[in-house]
Chains A and B, each alone.
Chain A
Amino acid sequence: QSVLTQPPSVSEAPRQRVTISCSGSSSNIGNNAVNWYQQLPGKAPKLLIYYDDLLPSGISDRFSGSKSGTSASLAISGLQSEDEANYYCATWDDSLNAWVFGGGTILTVL
């Protein structure tokens, strides 16, 4: 059972838009910035979004993040087959003194 809650899977057609939710609590998302990671099969996680909605250099602007209260979302527009991956939200938890991750969401581009 992960501290942050994500849907196990989402799917959408190419060129469409999909959102992935991440729910937490006041000790984690409610008090700290949220980061998102993309993990392709057999690869290490890659930072996709940091500080709730900032894109690292080299990340496509088709990806965007948002946060409200104790929940955050990742949106991917103009879906492409290469976006098929596992996506994780993460943040620091002040009560646990630990990094906490969502359980991951598998994105399928139909």
Chain B
Amino acid sequence: EVQLVESGGGLVKPGGSLRLSCAASGFTFSRYSMNWVRQAPGKGLEWVSSISISSNSIYYADSVKGRFTISRDNARNSLYLQMNSLRAEDTAVYYCAREDSSLAGTRYLDLWGRGNLVTVSS
């Protein structure tokens, strides 16, 4: 089955750290760029970070730049998000999403995990 499964979320105190993982299965992980997208409770979708196939292109939203680090291990079919200096406003469901750019002239996030809740609270 083609799927993405996030793990590693939970409750953490402000200023703390957490590492999210996303396990991919059912497709060739190394052929796709990957992304993290989050959704605060009752709010809309907010893109967090992107990583290219070979990790040579990495982008971050301004809201997490300098605090979060995205990485991937193609041998393990896994995506990661290291989150440091966490703030209350980082509380959200974090989704990993596959990016398909195989069709010339476009790119889209076509496969999403179920999400993993991160709560930052004292």
Interface residues of A (CB under 8 A from B): 2, 32-33, 35, 37, 39, 43-47, 50-51, 56, 86, 88, 90, 92, 97-104
B47 within 8 A of A: yes
Within the complex, which residue of A33, A46, A98, A103 is in contact with B47, where a contact is CB–CB below 8 Å?
Answer: A98
Which of B15-23, B68-76, B104-112 lines the interface with chain A?
B104-112
- CA A74 to CA B20, docked complex, whole Å: 33
Within the complex, which residue of B44, B61, B106, B112 is in contact with A50, where a contact is CB–CB below 8 Å?
Answer: B106
Q: Which residues from A are CB-within-8-Å of B46? A: 101
> B103 contacts A45, CB within 8 Å?
no
* B29-43 CB contacts (< 8 Å) to partner A: 35, 37
* B82-122 CB contacts (< 8 Å) to partner A: 95, 103, 105-110, 112-115
Q: How far is the CB of B92 from chain A (nearest CB, A)?
A: 13
Given A32-B106, A103-B44, 4 more A-B residue pairs with CB atoms under 8 Å apart are A44-B115, A47-B109, A86-B44, A99-B37
> A2 contacts B106, CB within 8 Å?
no
A98-B61 in contact given A47-B108, A51-B105, A56-B110 (Cβ < 8 Å): yes
Closest to B45 in A: A101
A44-B106 in contact given A2-B44, A98-B61 (Cβ < 8 Å): no
> A88 contacts B108, CB within 8 Å?
no
- CA A91 to CA B37, docked complex, whole Å: 13
- CA A44 to CA B93, docked complex, whole Å: 10
B78 within 8 A of A: no
> A35 contacts B109, CB within 8 Å?
yes
- CA A73 to CA B37, docked complex, whole Å: 23
Within the complex, which residue of A46, A92, A102 is in contact with B44, where a contact is CB–CB below 8 Å?
Answer: A102
> A35 contacts B108, CB within 8 Å?
yes
B27 within 8 A of A: no
> B105 contacts A101, CB within 8 Å?
no
Within the complex, which residue of A43, A50, A104 is in contact with B108, where a contact is CB–CB below 8 Å?
Answer: A50
- CA A83 to CA B45, docked complex, whole Å: 19
Q: Which residues from A are CB-within-8-Å of B95? A: 44-45
Closest to B97 in A: A45
Could you list 23 A-B pairs, sorted by A, with CB under 8 Å?
A33-B105, A33-B107, A35-B109, A43-B114, A45-B95, A45-B109, A45-B112, A46-B112, A47-B108, A47-B110, A51-B108, A88-B44, A88-B45, A90-B109, A97-B59, A98-B50, A98-B59, A99-B35, A99-B37, A101-B46, A101-B47, A103-B44, A104-B44
